[in-house]
Structure 1
């Protein structure tokens, strides 16, 4: 993926479809559309997956909470959402095995009756999960639960119900979708901002007026059809195309915190079924830390990046503490992140917690804009299929969707144990080799090859983590990383796991990026300062 070449094509060529927004839904649409034979462009105001799609709970699931609500309230929309999620779960796992894998989740219970309730519920959950090979749920006794999560409070524990969902690295999964679309022929570019639309005399969109935010250069992308996949920002694009449209989105904010791995000291995740506001909260091992989330609060300000505050930190600690033998010390917080959910609502009186995560495809007859509204990570492929089915209808075509069987970039011929060969061939530690294979899949050797002529690139960015310098170079050359945050927050997940070590690695990262991108010393310092300020806001808001 070469950004300069992509920008040249965006300026000089015409497209069948231009997709605005390169998160999960936009990237999924781009891959589906290009595989159906369309000439596709996809752009994003910031980086790929820079908003909602990199800030999820990292779960591939149907939604246990949705299933409970469906039966309690006879809400068939919730039931439909569960079914869709579980139908898609095995596809998400299969198509990128290096980035998505099964995850065992424990639900601790305090009584026999409570255990029976959750066992029945999770058995129902299992029945919706067709076509996959994940193990079925089990009701375990206290000793079995404690053997799996030894930090639980055994005095309060009666038993536990174990079930399985999937886990993914959301930012890199989205990048794999973008890479796959690019390799299939789509033209992709980040940091391209939309300022308006070019229309014909009847008001139909003919092109997208944009600017390259890195240079300020403005131009128009000419396309027969424009698809809006901007998640919680969809109303802004919709109203830009047609100011007469009603607003449809009710964004809500959710935050997660990262604590040391020793908080659970387990490879098993935990579902906390009882919270003060009626949600469920998860405690999940991720990238060498324990991630706890999420919250759900109304969010009126979607222009400012969501951060986490002391109240949200305390809520998550207070939710997990009753289950632990040793209480969480919130000062142990390593990092955290906030995100926005693109919830759909036709009823302003409903709270965001009660809104379904299902999706809707909107065709504005006046402007011709197609908008993909709502949805969640697990169903990204189904959302994209429905959207490109709509495009087929507009173009009077009947193409077949083939994304269910399309292995994503890095998943081709993937073998987890290939780390052994890489470690031996390139003199890498097991920790580093396993990390590379889990992040880059069958393409991990591309990073290793960079170290042959430049052995210093094998050096780690931090002694406490497996990330190496060669990844910075590869991210710039092959993954369109433009800023330090692209690399630190999304190409690797350093930012969301450890703020202090991320900042410690910043000088090395910016020096390597400066070499690759031709930054002078002043630009390198500006990039470092900008990133330090961004992270500084997260840290100060969380204190």
Structure 2
């Protein structure tokens, strides 16, 4: 099978198609909701288009806690329907839709009192497990809860403070590379016929005299060229930009969204000795300590954000908050010197009129879909785990009840790229490791990234064995992953590679700056860069990395935002 290739040539072809044809559905926004919506529409047989103002997944969808979870804390708010829905989606992703990307992950819930807390916590986690089993059709997709003594908990999490618990409950959720999920969704949509282009911003909505939205005026941000995209229905899946999208149409309806900032820190894997993650409740939100192959991700926060929306950044106060709460349970105290990465994202929370934004942690994550104007559907709220349900609802509203019933969503039975044949290719792990001189750990990383598409990556190495070497700046990655990002995954710039695909921006102390020369050497011929363009790309990324590092030393959001935006964007944005 020929795999979908997102690259500069494809982009030009799809831009021409966008300008010439009329679509059943035009989706605005290339985050997880927009990409999921494009896949839903395309698999219903609808002529589908997707445009994204920046890079795919460049907003909230690449800056999450990287979890696929039911939301255990929502049980405290009695949001049973929300939790049940999310757990059903978790089961689908693990078992059928994306088993290569979504992995079951054990967490410890530390207990402070031996009887009362264990009892009510066991009931809560037991309900969590029960909802998951019911949602999976009475099948387990992750192990059920397990009660641990203090000794047992410390065996599973050796670096926990002895006075931080009297025991623990071990339960399961799942983790995912959020940006890679979005890119995979986008490519899967293209596989089923969707037309898509990144760096293509909507600068206006087309609206007839009767008030019906009939498409959008878009601008190719790479060239500045503007043209109209005609569509029978437009779906705005723009997250924290929802109100901006709605304002392009003449309408009194719409959704009001609060931008809530969540930050994470990243520390080396060997810095915390543990076999499981940890789940903690704080006075403001929850704190996850999440293990990945090479590092730990620790977060998050939940605070209102009033600055520019494109480049949210953590402050020194945010970082200190996460360190303080992590160190409350860690015996091996973390310091700023241990941090190898940070990032911040903005949750698009539906904001009821009169709601106190300081209480944003209590705003429900449930999504809402409505027709903001005839032909214009807005969807906001929700979370990454339930992207498929959100996408289904958005397309249903765009089609109307009768047409939606005639062509229902089928994405609960459509595996994403890399899922087909994944189990079979995993059995070739040792063979692949031997042939290419890699450790089984390196092959596991590639299998968890590409699934059965690993054969396409290996074909690149067979063509050019030099691509099989590890990156000098970070041996977690091989050079072929950069080439794959350019040939198949829609990367147009260095920042696209280093932030959303080869994710050194959030997992190395210099934010990937030391990898710039090597990555540019691989990318330049594939993306058609001349010497001047290559130099500009490198200089721009280094300036960005320096600004991000400087911003996280500031004490307030306003100061951090100002420092970050002093670095110019490689491609000017309309956002």
- Name the TM-score class by shorter chain: over 0.9
Matched, 1:88 2:89: yes
Deviation at 1:401, TM superposition (A): 1.4
Task: Give the distance between the partners of 2:363 and 2:457, measured in 1 at CA.
Answer: 43
User: Could you say what secondary structure the match of 1:525 adopts?
Assistant: helix
Match of 1:160?
Answer: 168
Matched, 1:218 2:226: yes
Match of 1:531?
Answer: 541
Matched, 1:513 2:523: yes
1:25-104 equivalences under 5 Å are 25-70=33-78, 78-94=79-95, 95-104=97-106
Classify 1:494/1:419 alpha carbon distance in 2 versus 1 (closer, same or farther; 3 Å): farther
Match of 2:323 among 317, 326, 336: 317
Q: Which runs of 5+ in 2 are unaligned?
A: 1-5, 554-575
**CA RMSD of superposed structures (Å):** 1.7
Q: How many residues align?
A: 533
| Higher mean C-alpha displacement, 349-358 vs 290-299 | 349-358
Matched, 1:477 2:487: yes
| Higher mean C-alpha displacement, 167-176 vs 416-425 | 416-425
Matched, 1:338 2:344: yes
User: Could you say what secondary structure the match of 1:338 adopts?
Assistant: strand
Classify 1:504/1:243 alpha carbon distance in 2 versus 1 (closer, same or farther; 3 Å): same
Matched, 1:375 2:382: yes
Classify 1:267/1:493 alpha carbon distance in 2 versus 1 (closer, same or farther; 3 Å): farther
Normalised TM-score (structure 1): 0.95
Matched, 1:111 2:113: yes
Match of 1:457 among 422, 446, 467: 467
| Higher mean C-alpha displacement, 467-476 vs 98-107 | 467-476
Asked if 1 retains the 8 angstrom alpha-carbon contact of 2:112 and 2:165, the reply is: yes
Match of 2:21?
Answer: 13
Deviation at 1:247, TM superposition (A): 5.3
User: Could you say what secondary structure the match of 2:490 adopts?
Assistant: coil
Classify 1:7/1:254 alpha carbon distance in 2 versus 1 (closer, same or farther; 3 Å): same
Matched, 1:434 2:441: no
Normalised TM-score (structure 2): 0.90
User: Could you say what secondary structure the match of 2:505 adopts?
Assistant: helix
Match of 2:392?
Answer: 385
User: Could you say what secondary structure the match of 2:257 adopts?
Assistant: coil
Task: Give the distance between the partners of 1:156 and 1:207, measured in 2 at CA.
Answer: 57
| Higher mean C-alpha displacement, 6-15 vs 188-197 | 6-15
Task: Give the distance between the partners of 1:182 and 1:263, measured in 2 at CA.
Answer: 41
Task: Give the distance between the partners of 2:329 and 2:271, measured in 1 at CA.
Answer: 11
Deviation at 1:117, TM superposition (A): 2.9
Deviation at 1:264, TM superposition (A): 2.6
Task: Give the distance between the partners of 2:354 and 2:537, measured in 1 at CA.
Answer: 41
Q: Please identify runs of 4+ aligned residues in structure 1 that moved more than 6 A.
A: none
Cα deviations across residues 351-382 of structure 1 (Å, max 9, x unaligned)? 211100001111024x4210111110111111
Task: Give the distance between the partners of 1:154 and 1:287, measured in 2 at CA.
Answer: 26
Classify 1:304/1:26 alpha carbon distance in 2 versus 1 (closer, same or farther; 3 Å): closer
Asked if 1 retains the 8 angstrom alpha-carbon contact of 2:27 and 2:51, the reply is: yes
Match of 1:490 among 500, 515, 539: 500
Asked if 1 retains the 8 angstrom alpha-carbon contact of 2:211 and 2:250, the reply is: no
Task: Give the distance between the partners of 2:27 and 2:280, measured in 1 at CA.
Answer: 38
Task: Give the distance between the partners of 1:217 and 1:28, measured in 2 at CA.
Answer: 27
Task: Give the distance between the partners of 2:293 and 2:504, measured in 1 at CA.
Answer: 9
Task: Give the distance between the partners of 1:312 and 1:364, measured in 2 at CA.
Answer: 36
Deviation at 1:464, TM superposition (A): 4.4
Asked if 2 retains the 8 angstrom alpha-carbon contact of 1:461 and 1:467, the reply is: yes
Task: Give the distance between the partners of 2:193 and 2:269, measured in 1 at CA.
Answer: 41
User: Could you say what secondary structure the match of 1:451 adopts?
Assistant: helix
Match of 1:357?
Answer: 365
Matched, 1:126 2:133: no
Cα deviations across residues 58-103 of structure 1 (Å, max 9, x unaligned)? 1111111111122xxxxxxx22211211121101223111100101
Deviation at 1:422, TM superposition (A): 1.8
Classify 1:300/1:243 alpha carbon distance in 2 versus 1 (closer, same or farther; 3 Å): farther
Deviation at 1:207, TM superposition (A): 2.0
1:404-419 equivalences under 5 Å are 404-415=412-423, 416-419=426-429
Deviation at 1:329, TM superposition (A): 1.1
Asked if 2 retains the 8 angstrom alpha-carbon contact of 1:119 and 1:138, the reply is: no
Asked if 2 retains the 8 angstrom alpha-carbon contact of 1:239 and 1:245, the reply is: no
Match of 2:244?
Answer: 236
Asked if 1 retains the 8 angstrom alpha-carbon contact of 2:40 and 2:395, the reply is: yes
User: Could you say what secondary structure the match of 1:241 adopts?
Assistant: coil
User: Could you say what secondary structure the match of 1:45 adopts?
Assistant: coil
